[in-house]
Structure 1
């Protein structure tokens, strides 16, 4: 049970889904932000790559709900599927991702530790690996947003789905429709 009464059956609305239903005034902008960051068209980063950044940061923050859900969302949209996502969680430096993605994940990890941990060296390494300013910007914003989302979910003590298959089912909905229609 969440730390506060959400006034609904939390077994049907685990993690952030229950929180969004509880406070619909904040659900709309939070879902819009997630949709823009992770699902909306992007000139160079695929939805799967953006979900991978979210999953990685959520794993670093030890947010089980967000790490599990966004890992499933990334796996559903990346050629390497869940094996690739697991590799990234174990360590991006040895995962079979591009040098650019490895550098962006390094920036995301720095943001997770604290915004001032992002150094000119990390940004320079990302640029040297082919990252654009937009990709660097969006990586920082995704990582920062997921620090907030993770703290929201864990700070209110939300429950996990009873069946882990729920993450895969949600992944198909998000892949098709994004976040705005999944509130």
Structure 2
């Protein structure tokens, strides 16, 4: 049970969905941020890659709901699906991804620990692998935002369903309609 009374059935609104339903005036900008970071047109990073960053950081933060939901979203949008997401989350060093994405995920992991852990060397490695300043910027912002989203979800003690099918259903809805238009509230 959540730490506060959200005034709803947590099973119907698990994870971030309950708090967003509880405070729609804060849900709107949070969903707008998620839409801009994860789904808006981007010259080089696909929505699946950006969702992978969110899933990876959420996994590092041990946020069960956000890791599961964004893993489902990444899998729904990446050609290699959930197998790739699981590889990245299990062992970034050996995951079957390009060096640019690996370097960007290392930057995301540094942000997860502390923004100050992002070093000039990490950025240089990403650039050497082909990353642009825009990609570095956006990965840092996605990682930072997901540290906030993860702490929001876990700080309120919200329900994290164990059934992967619930996350897959929400992922399909968000892929089709976006974060702002995926129903009553986000499945971040």
The TM-score, its normalising length taken from structure 1, stands at 0.98
Are 2:81 and 1:81 equivalent residues in the alignment? yes
Aligned-pair distance for 1:136? 0.2
Query: Where do residues 142-153 of structure 1 align in structure 2 (5 Å cutoff)?
Result: 142-153=142-153
Judge conservation of contact 1:40–1:178 (CA < 8 Å) in 2.
no
* Residue correspondences, number: 183
- Mapped to 1, the partners of 2:98 and 2:36 lie a distance apart of 23
Aligned-pair distance for 1:77? 0.2
- Mapped to 2, the partners of 1:8 and 1:171 lie a distance apart of 22
Query: Where do residues 47-86 of structure 1 align in structure 2 (5 Å cutoff)?
Result: 47-86=47-86
Judge conservation of contact 1:111–1:143 (CA < 8 Å) in 2.
yes
- Mapped to 1, the partners of 2:95 and 2:125 lie a distance apart of 17
Provide the residue aligned with 2:121 in structure 1.
121
- Mapped to 2, the partners of 1:126 and 1:30 lie a distance apart of 28
Query: Where do residues 136-147 of structure 1 align in structure 2 (5 Å cutoff)?
Result: 136-147=136-147
Aligned-pair distance for 1:93? 1.1
Are 2:39 and 1:39 equivalent residues in the alignment? yes
CA offset digits 1:21-56 (Å, max 9, x no partner): 000110000000000000111111000000000000
- Mapped to 2, the partners of 1:93 and 1:161 lie a distance apart of 29
Aligned-pair distance for 1:162? 6.0
- Mapped to 2, the partners of 1:114 and 1:159 lie a distance apart of 27
Provide the residue aligned with 1:108 in structure 2.
108
- Mapped to 2, the partners of 1:130 and 1:94 lie a distance apart of 19
- Mapped to 1, the partners of 2:131 and 2:178 lie a distance apart of 25
- Mapped to 1, the partners of 2:109 and 2:69 lie a distance apart of 19
Structure 1 residue ranges without an equivalent (≥5): none
- Mapped to 1, the partners of 2:148 and 2:51 lie a distance apart of 15
Are 2:157 and 1:157 equivalent residues in the alignment? yes
Using the TM superposition, name which of 129-138 and 157-166 deviates more.
157-166
Judge conservation of contact 1:54–1:70 (CA < 8 Å) in 2.
yes
- Mapped to 2, the partners of 1:165 and 1:39 lie a distance apart of 22
- Mapped to 1, the partners of 2:102 and 2:160 lie a distance apart of 29
Structure 2 residue ranges without an equivalent (≥5): none
